[in-house]
Amino acid sequence: MIKTKINKLKLGKLTIKDPIIAAPLAGVSDKGYRRVLKENGVPLVFTEMVSAKALSYQNEKTKSLVEVEGEVPPIGMQLFGRDPKEIAEAGKYLESIGADIIDFNIGCPAPKIVKNFEGSALLKEPLLALKILEKLVSSVDVPVTLKIRKGFAKDMYDAEPIIMGLENIGIKGVFIHGRLREEYYSGTADWEYIRKIKEKVNIPVIGNGDINTPEKAKEFLELTKCDGMLIGRGFLGNPLLFKQITDYLNTNSYQKITVEEKIFWAMKQLEYTIVDKGEELGVKEMRKHFSWYLKGIRNGAKIRNDIFTANTADDIKKIIRRIN
């Protein structure tokens, strides 16, 4: 097998070696999760997507989602909205609290976002989308990127008119999810669409969608010739995926994550999350993460069910000791 090379990625003044990037995931990408990924080599992580409108109202819950004190840079932050002024002001705020890169979302398919004409709904309004991005770029000094889906629905509102206008307004890179909004996360991501866009633009293109194993990462790079990869669900329960991918690209082999490694990193993430959020909330929010870490483990379903009734770190430790 031939070695597959992944070059350094330049997003404005930010340079990323081995650009295998962790996507922002709602309800997932908190501080504990980000810290575990960073400790496993992921060069750029994102906080959860936040609303520009909520930031304009000084919403404390929203502000807590982008609290990054003590984290290892670079850290990306992602905004959504549709009011150019609100988004520009939100961008300034994110820059002031430590964002090394600001991404604008035209990819979220969630009904509650789309019904407010935000997220993927902006695929229907390319002129407004570009106006928002231009104002955001002019308001901050850090690099601004765009996350976008390939279109809204079949044969409707393709992303290309927006993507082709990005370079002229100073956008430093584009993250493309190879699905339509109407597909949500079903079916197969369209890597061929990403390849075609990569051939047409001069700014960096980072692909997203179904890159969840080292083999798929290699296949994706060889097909699309993209400048990087954005991985979301692939990291769930496997923070070692970054190392697996880089090993596979460089040597055509990699080590699978062991049960012991899964348990170690799950407990480490629990520890970090409790420090950040307190034991009661930390345990509650880690339940879903344990369900991902325990996938494929013997008696994993029973152990997951028991963890969903756990209320303390000691409860979880007792349950985990049953794994053999």
Active site residues: 108
Structure letter (DSSP) for residue 82: S
Please give the Cα distance from 314 to 220 (Å, whole number).
42
**3-class secondary structure, 217:** helix
- Quick one: the chain helix, strand, coil %, rounded to 5? 45, 15, 35
What one-character-per-residue DSSP string does 143-160 give?
A: -EEEEEEEEEETTEEESH
* DSSP 8-state class, residue 65: H
Cβ 207 vs Cβ 224: under 8 Å: yes
Contacts of residue 39, Cβ cutoff 8 Å, sequence gap at least 6 = 239, 268
> Taking each helix axis from N to C terminus, what angle separates 126-139 and 84-96, rounded to the nearest 10 degrees?
30
Cα–Cα distance between 155 and 163 in angstroms, integer?
17
Contact 150, 193 (CB under 8 A): yes
- Residue 73 has phi, psi (to 5 degrees) of -75, 160
Peptide bond into 74 cis (omega under 30): yes
Cα gap 162→127, rounded to integer Å: 8
Residue 97: DSSP 8-state: T
233, 212 Cβ separation under 8 angstroms: yes
Q: Which helix H or strand E contains 34, and what residues bound it?
A: helix 31-39
